[in-house]
Amino acid sequence: MHDATGVASIGWLMIGLPALGAALLLLGGKKLDKAGPYLATLLSWASFVIGLLILLQLRGKSPEDRGMHQHLFDWITTGKFNLSAGLQYDQLSLTFVMLITFVGSLITVYSLGYMEHDPDKRRFFAYLNLFVASMLLLVLADSYTLLFVGWEGVGLASYLLIGFWNWNPAYATAANKAFFLNRIGDMGMLIAMFVMFWAFGKVDFAGVNAGVEHAGKGTMLAIGLALLVAACGKSAQFPLQSWLGDAMAGPTPVSALIHAATMVTAGVYLIVRSHVIFNASEDARLAVCIVGAITLFAGAVIGCAKDDLKKALAASTMSQIGYMVLAAGLGPVGYAFAIFHLLTHGFFKAGMFLGAGSVMHGMNDQVNMRRFGGLWTVMRITWVTFGLGFLAIIGFPGLSGFWSKDKIIEAAFEGSGWKPWVFGLTALIAAGITAFYMSRMFFMTFMGKRRWTEDVHPHESPLTMTIPMMVLAIGSAFLGLILGPTGIITDWLEPVVGKHEGGEHVLGAAPLMVATFVLMVIGVAMAWRMYWRDAVPVAPPVGSPLTQAARRDLGQDDFNQAAIQRPGLHLTRALVFFDNKVVDGVGNGSAAGIGGSSARLKKMQNGFVRTYSLTMLLGVAAILGAVWVVR
């Protein structure tokens, strides 16, 4: 890799500027209450501009020659563990830079309107800047350890923003839950680094990648699984998925940016970035596929039962990231499509979340879709932009999701044996379910009859909010078409993730396309019948056992509570008791014992000569006896 030249040599400013913004806003005090948000927005766009210039610089070179590396400073030098902080500009990281800075800046603009009346908005924009800086560090880092700094940094930003309105105890709990489950993932990340250092003596990408060919299968499997645990935490994948639904407690722009478009996809980035490791371990890839398949299916099922607009979108995010993880687990055939779907999803899901925010803005912050309906008459822009996102995610022919998601389904069917059938059919059927729950969401919110509460007067949101929505809607519509069928995205990423020679499919592309389309139509039609044509009851019906289970997130919280939380509480209590009574008791007990015996011994000092002479006699006898025995 070359040393960074040109614009790339100031590439660190992409991270530095938003970080500076965060620091200024947090330390600036009330003086910056007015100007702060604009400063934050400006710095976010500045990062985008720098990123764009570097992207153009990369495009100007031949494909194999594009990667650049920038040494920042010697970070940890201990003699054996030596690591410098450096940034890596290649096709993969720049793709993410574009997504993060562009969508991030749009959402910052949106927040100018959305958070206008919040007294703490300076703090909010500071956290947004902190997030952008951390996320850019995550994708630009040249080593796992530096990546980990960004990785936990986005976790911190996520924690702060989920708990932004933490005077509501439930929101504070949601923030903690997200941090705890992410920390379990982080443990995986740490273990992955431990094994890397143990095996290769390195934790930077170049060093690890160079060592892979010398390592055994077991080592690679261990690293792969540990990285998968990390990805599960950050990307809300089974079994660490339960925090994402609760994370919707954060302000809606946060849900759009962090919990839909960027941060939660970091797990996918991690897997694709570590493709050399996963290429070397088929078992690790299989584990990735299984996790992805379970999550994409479970998320889709949960999405069908949620009446809370944001939670339904969160379930959908889980499911869509499941698709990406599945694609990444498929190996070289899927890496590029995982990233492709990640990009398009970033646009349409962020757009829909912003739409949800716009709906809430007009509906007094309500989120219950059973109290929506018929909103298309009063919120035309939101309706259209959300509608484009909706069509994109269900894979309506021509729109973004059609190009990216169908590619994943197609890739899942490649290969032989049982795997393509299991993963392929899961992905295929879940696509039908996706069409159902997304249509349900769209129809319940915008179509059908009005079921509003008395006190709401829905209205369209201001332009600061709708313009970002429009931009994202355009992306939802055309991004797939521009990048997919033209081969731009696959060619662009090929030097990083490797080329894939087409393999055998158990099911051809044409029948698959038809099947996907038919399932989508069935899903939409069923939703149309239940949630548009028929009246939607304001009170949720009891529903089948499956619906009830899905409403309870398929028991994920119940499981965590029964298996971890409650035993943990008992363990903590028992241990504190043990510590106070037993461990401390031994110390205090021996002190008391000494005290007691000295109290008894004290009685011997009674001042009577006869007692002392008796003691003396006994002593002399004892000594003489001892001498006699020894002789």
Partner 1 sequence: MSDFPWLTTLGVIPLVGAAVVALLPKGATRNVRPIALAFSLLTLVVGIVAATQFKTSGDNPQFQLAETHSWIPQFGVSYAVGVDGMALSLILMSLVLVPISLLAAWNDIPEGGRRQQSYFALLLVLETFMVGVFAATDVFLFYVFFEAMLIPVYFLIGMFGGPRRQYAAVKFLLFSLFGGLIMLVAVIALYQQGPGGDHGFLVNSLTGLHMSESTERLLFVGFFIAFAIKAPMWPVHTWLPDAASEAKPAVAVLLVGVLDKVGTFGMIRFCLQLFPDASKWATPVVIILAVISIIYAAIAAIGQNDMMRLIAYTSVSHFGLIVLGIFAVTQTSVIGSQLYMVNHGITTAALFLFAGFLIMRGKSKNITDYGGWQRTTPVLAGVSLVAGLSALSLPGLNSFISEFLVLIGTFERYPVAAGISVVAVVLAALYILLMYKNIFTGPKQQLVAAPDGTLAMAGVNGQGGRPSTGVTKTLFDEPDTDIADIPAEAKVRGSAIRDLDVREKTVAGVLIAIMLFLGFFPKPALDLLKPAVRDTLQHVNVHDPAPHAGVTTEGSSK
Residues ≥6 apart with Cβ < 8 Å to 610: none
Number of Cβ within a 10 Å radius of residue 476: 30
Region near partner 1 per CB under 8 A, out of 73-81, 274-282, 327-335, 396-404: 73-81
Return the residue of 1, 13, 53, 172 that touches partner 1, per CB under 8 A: 172
Region near partner 1 per CB under 8 A, out of 213-221, 347-355, 520-528, 545-553: 213-221
The token duo for 529 is 């019948």
Q: In the complex with partner 1, which residue's Cβ is closer, 191 or 549?
A: 191
Region near partner 1 per CB under 8 A, out of 174-182, 405-413, 431-439, 493-501: 174-182
β-pairing, 68-77 vs 82-89, is: antiparallel
Question: By CB under 8 A, what part of segment 17-36 binds partner 1?
Answer: 26
Return the residue of 35, 42, 98, 180 that touches partner 1, per CB under 8 A: 180
Return the residue of 9, 77, 377, 486 that touches partner 1, per CB under 8 A: 77
**Contact between 278 and 224 (Cβ < 8 Å):** yes
CA dihedral 291, 292, 294, 295 (to 10 degrees): 110
Return the residue of 48, 200, 372, 531 that touches partner 1, per CB under 8 A: 200
The sign of the dihedral angle between the CA atoms of 446, 452, 455, 457 is positive
Tell me how far, at minimum, the Cβ of 498 lies from partner 1, in Å: 21
Crossing angle for the helix pair 400-412 and 380-393, to the nearest 10 degrees:
20
Return the residue of 59, 63, 198, 615 that touches partner 1, per CB under 8 A: 198
Q: Which residues pair with 88 in a beta bridge?
A: 69
Closest-CA residue to 82 (of 209, 226, 197): 197
Q: In the complex with partner 1, which residue's Cβ is closer, 7 or 189?
A: 189
Region near partner 1 per CB under 8 A, out of 35-43, 370-378, 418-426, 572-580: 572-580
583 belongs to the binding site for partner 1 (CB under 8 A)? yes
579 belongs to the binding site for partner 1 (CB under 8 A)? yes
Residues ≥6 apart with Cβ < 8 Å to 53: 7
Return the residue of 10, 98, 187, 456 that touches partner 1, per CB under 8 A: 187
**Contact between 308 and 368 (Cβ < 8 Å):** yes
211 belongs to the binding site for partner 1 (CB under 8 A)? yes
Q: Which residues pair with 86 in a beta bridge?
A: 71
> Can you give the length of the chain in residues?
631
219 belongs to the binding site for partner 1 (CB under 8 A)? yes
Region near partner 1 per CB under 8 A, out of 56-64, 155-163, 333-341, 523-531: 155-163
Q: In the complex with partner 1, which residue's Cβ is closer, 184 or 378?
A: 184
Return the residue of 587, 599, 603, 631 that touches partner 1, per CB under 8 A: 587
201 belongs to the binding site for partner 1 (CB under 8 A)? yes
571 belongs to the binding site for partner 1 (CB under 8 A)? yes
Return the residue of 60, 64, 78, 542 that touches partner 1, per CB under 8 A: 78
Per-residue burial over 270-294, b = 16 or more CB atoms within 10 Å of its CB, e = otherwise: bbbbbbbbbbbbeebbbbbbbbbbb
The token duo for 513 is 């396309």
Tell me how far, at minimum, the Cβ of 42 lies from partner 1, in Å: 24
Q: In the complex with partner 1, which residue's Cβ is closer, 41 or 143?
A: 143
1 belongs to the binding site for partner 1 (CB under 8 A)? no
Q: In the complex with partner 1, which residue's Cβ is closer, 211 or 495?
A: 211
Per-residue burial over 61-77, b = 16 or more CB atoms within 10 Å of its CB, e = otherwise: eeeeebbbbbeeeeeee
Number of Cβ within a 10 Å radius of residue 142: 25
Sheet with 82-89: list strands edge to edge. Answer: 2-3, 68-77, 82-89
575 belongs to the binding site for partner 1 (CB under 8 A)? yes
Cis peptide before 37 (omega within 30 of 0): no
CA dihedral 234, 240, 246, 249 (to 10 degrees): -10
DSSP string, 294-308: HHHHHHHHHHHH--B
Q: In the complex with partner 1, which residue's Cβ is closer, 464 or 561?
A: 561
80 belongs to the binding site for partner 1 (CB under 8 A)? yes
Binding region for partner 1 (CB under 8 A) = 26, 73-84, 143, 145, 148-149, 151-153, 156, 159, 163, 166-169, 172-173, 175-176, 179-180, 183-184, 186-187, 190-191, 193-195, 197-204, 206-207, 210-211, 214-216, 219, 571-573, 575-576, 579, 583-584, 586-588, 591
